[in-house]
Structure 1
Amino acid sequence: MKTSESLSILPDGPVRRMFEATNRHDIEALVACFAEDYVNETPNHPDRGFTGRGQVQKNWSALFAGVPDLHAHVVGAATGPDGRIWVEWGTGGTRPDGGTVSMAGMVIFTVTTVQITAARFYLEPVEHGSGDVDAAVSSVATGIRGGTQPGGLS
């Protein structure tokens, strides 16, 4: 499915506009999709949570500068009974040094008709060569992962 086609599964509103602005690299339009007091919770990395769309602008400006061909695609989306929009999505692109960027995961958006007010953010870098399922389970069960504490079990 093409990126533009993948966005068609999103409901009309601020989440779809956010993805469209992301793929155009239109920072002003993207930031306008977020409420001034937007709250981002990142449960897997609690210290990364933040409040305010100023940080949204800072984050996406850095991503657009560092990954000039960054694009986002939607794998699936659903609207919950509480109106929150659940989106499985990913991003990809290439940095100027030739390194590739690939992220995948879920974000659960809380929205009004015009803006995103909050998100629970579960988007993570795609890891290749990070070990199989047995290694992941072992690292959680034993606390050892290549001499370091485990990052968790997927």
Structure 2
Amino acid sequence: MKTAMMIVLACSACCMTNTPGFAASYHGVDPVKTVRQKFEAFNRHDVAAIEGLYAADAVLRSPDYPELAGNSQIADTYKRLFDAIPDANDAIENIDSSGNRVYAQFVLSGHLKGAGGKFIKVPIMSVYTVSGGHIAADSTYYDRKTP
């Protein structure tokens, strides 16, 4: 009985704490660190690193893509984005987590190559699900009409 009660208390503490990364570190993975690595790779335009951070069977959903499946397809999309916006940069404004979910608000900025170098600045919200140190799901939201 004591052992069962200790397990319940440990699980409750893990799930109910508001300490950032507590639940993740309990399981040996820090989801926020994984997502921050994705943003660092993005800002370096490191497509190979981005591909490695997404799980092989990851799914990405956004206004421009109903559903991309697999890390190679996701990486290819980032490559096309870097080709279209050669100076693309993501600036994180807010990042938070709950369990294995990471919520990031950021602004994509850069100059469009095919539009005479027009400057763009797009506020974006993404919800990442991280599993085993890889991004398993990425649901991204933004207004496609943003100038």
Give secondary structure in 2 for the equivalent of 1:124. coil
- Per the TM alignment, residue 59 of structure 1 is displaced from its structure 2 partner at its CA by 0.9
Q: Aligned pair 1:124/2:116, yes or no? A: no
Structure number with the higher strand fraction is 2
Supply the distance in 2 between the matched residues of 1:49 and 1:117 (Cα, whole angstroms): 13
Give secondary structure in 1 for the equivalent of 2:142. strand
Q: Structure 1 residues 48-57 or 117-126, which shifts more? A: 117-126
Q: Aligned pair 1:110/2:129, yes or no? A: yes
Give secondary structure in 2 for the equivalent of 1:39. strand
Name the count of aligned residue pairs. Answer: 116
C-alpha change, 1:46 and 1:79, in structure 2 (3 Å) is same
Q: Aligned pair 1:68/2:68, yes or no? A: no
**Unpaired segments ≥5 residues, structure 2:** 1-29
> Deviation per CA, 1:14-68, whole angstroms, max 9, x where unpaired?
21110000111111111111001001233xx496222111221111101111111
* 2:38–2:53 contact (8 Å) kept in structure 1: yes
* 2:101–2:127 contact (8 Å) kept in structure 1: yes
Percent of counterpart pairs with the same letter?
25
* 1:35–1:53 contact (8 Å) kept in structure 2: yes
Once the two structures are superposed, the pairs formed by residues 50-89 of structure 1 within 5 Å of their partners are 50-80=68-98, 82-89=99-106
C-alpha change, 1:71 and 1:47, in structure 2 (3 Å) is closer
Decide which structure has the larger Cα Rg and report it.
Answer: 2
**Unpaired segments ≥5 residues, structure 1:** 1-9, 129-154
C-alpha change, 1:103 and 1:33, in structure 2 (3 Å) is same
* Runs of 4+ with >2 A deviation: 10-13, 123-128
* 1:68–1:93 contact (8 Å) kept in structure 2: yes
Counterpart in the other structure of 1:91: 108
Kindly indicate whether structure 1 or structure 2 has the higher relative contact order, using CA contacts under 8 Å at least 6 residues apart.
Answer: 2
